[in-house]
């Protein structure tokens, strides 16, 4: 689940929990593939103080006073949970960071796709990622430059993290509905007006999803939860995602589902052009 709004929700939760300024007294990695060199990682991080917690694309960045940055990618089912350090360990908790105030940050991941990366140069690590759509210095001109010429379909382009950072399968579909554009449209066929609609839709969809605390699908263990273990509310706002054959909210036509680039893709064949 975790796309930009979910990752942003996690980061805001961590900030609210006042983890910045806390020192890490103990680290346990119980799933070795989580990070390149678990032993070196533990050695490196123990004793560090968290100096910042931010987001870039779908990465959570924990910056330490040592100058190193821990980048966490949740992939499909990863979660970061804040608990008391004596809380019983549950299944799928693959890493834990004990803080000097008696709490722990735990990494929970059913499918084990999530990864940690420790770097002394976060900028270099993140250099190839695409536009940050909600940044203060976001520029529509830059957006057009990146999207406008692409010969690929809009769906593929929106999912390409090197073009635009942070959209995933859910929000790509929602954005295209909001912009009234078919996922199959080639990006290079968009008029200036349509590019503007696309740009505005991305920002609106992301902003409102963040306001609602992200999207949580279903009730399983893989479901998105924020750092307090709470579900989001945005799943109730979907216009097309997982609404196959249900009536379009605007025109009542049945929502269609096709597969593009191995991902299920939902759209209204009447409203989207």
Per rule CB under 7 A, is residue 146 in the interface with DNA? no
Long-range contacts of 136-145 (CB under 8 A, 24+ apart): 140/196, 140/199, 143/195, 143/199, 144/192, 144/195
Read off φ and ψ for residue 72, nearest 5 degrees: -120, 125
The residue among 76 and 197 lying less far from DNA, judged by its C-beta, is 76
Distances (CA, A) of 161 to 97, 132, 188: 29, 10, 18
Catalytic residue among 12, 115, 180, 263: 263
Task: Give the whole-angstrom CA distance, residue 271 versus residue 189.
Answer: 18
SS3 148: helix
* Residue 218 interacting with DNA (CB under 7 A): yes
Quick one: which of 10, 27, 34, 57 contacts DNA (CB under 7 A)? 57
The question of whether 263 is a catalytic residue gets the answer yes
Segment interacting with DNA, rule: CB under 7 A, options 48-56, 61-69, 153-161, 247-255: 153-161
* In contact, 65 and 51? CB cutoff 8 Å: yes
258 near DNA (CB under 7 A)? no
Beta-bridge partner residues of 266: 257
For the CB of residue 261, give the shortest distance to DNA in the complex, in Å. Answer: 6
Is residue 58 flagged as an active site residue? Answer: yes
Min separation Cβ 46 and DNA, Å: 26
Residue 2 bears catalytic tag: yes
81 neighbors 39 (Cβ within 8 angstroms) = no
Q: How far apart are CA 9 and CA 17, in angstroms?
A: 12
CA 165 vs CA 54, 67, 178: distances in Å: 15, 25, 19
Query: Looking at 14-22, 111-119, 174-182, 197-205, which segment touches DNA (CB under 7 A)?
Result: 111-119
- Which stretch, 36-44, 100-108, 164-172, 245-253, contacts DNA (CB under 7 A)? 164-172
Catalytic residue among 22, 55, 56, 58: 58
Q: Does 178 bind DNA (CB under 7 A)?
A: no
- Provide the binding-site residues for DNA, judged by CB under 7 A: 1-3, 6, 33, 57-58, 73, 75-77, 91-92, 110-113, 150-153, 156, 159, 161, 168-170, 215, 217-224, 260-264
Positions marked catalytic: 2-3, 58, 263
């Amino acid at each position: 689940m975790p796309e930009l709004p979910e990752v942003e929700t996690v980061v805001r939760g961590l900030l609210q929990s006042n983890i910045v300024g806390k020192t890490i007294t103990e680290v346990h990695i119980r799933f070795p593939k989580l990070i390149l060199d678990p032993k070196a990682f533990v050695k490196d991080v123990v004793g560090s103080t968290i100096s910042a917690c931010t987001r870039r694309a779908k990465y959570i960045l924990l910056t330490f006073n040592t100058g190193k940055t821990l980048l966490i990618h949740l992939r499909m089912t990863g979660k970061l949970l804040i608990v008391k350090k004596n809380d019983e360990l549950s299944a799928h908790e693959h890493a834990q960071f004990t803080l000097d105030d008696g709490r722990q940050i735990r990494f929970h991941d059913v499918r084990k796709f999530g990864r940690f990366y420790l770097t002394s140069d976060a900028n270099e690590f993140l250099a190839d990622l695409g536009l940050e759509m909600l940044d203060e210095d976001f520029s529509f001109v830059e957006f057009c430059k990146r999207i406008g010429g692409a010969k690929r379909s809009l769906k593929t382009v929106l999912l390409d993290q090197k073009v635009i950072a942070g959209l995933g399968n859910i929000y790509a579909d929602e954005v295209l509905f909001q912009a009234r554009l078919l996922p199959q449209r080639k990006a290079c066929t968009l008029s200036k007006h349509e590019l503007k609609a696309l740009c505005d839709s991305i920002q609106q969809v992301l902003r409102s999803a963040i306001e609602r605390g992200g999207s949580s699908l279903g009730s399983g263990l893989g479901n998105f939860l924020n750092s307090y273990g709470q579900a989001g509310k945005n799943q109730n706002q979907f216009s097309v995602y997982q609404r196959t054959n249900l009536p379009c909210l605007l025109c009542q036509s049945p929502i269609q589902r096709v597969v593009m680039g191995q991902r299920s893709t939902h759209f209204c064949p009447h409203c989207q052009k």
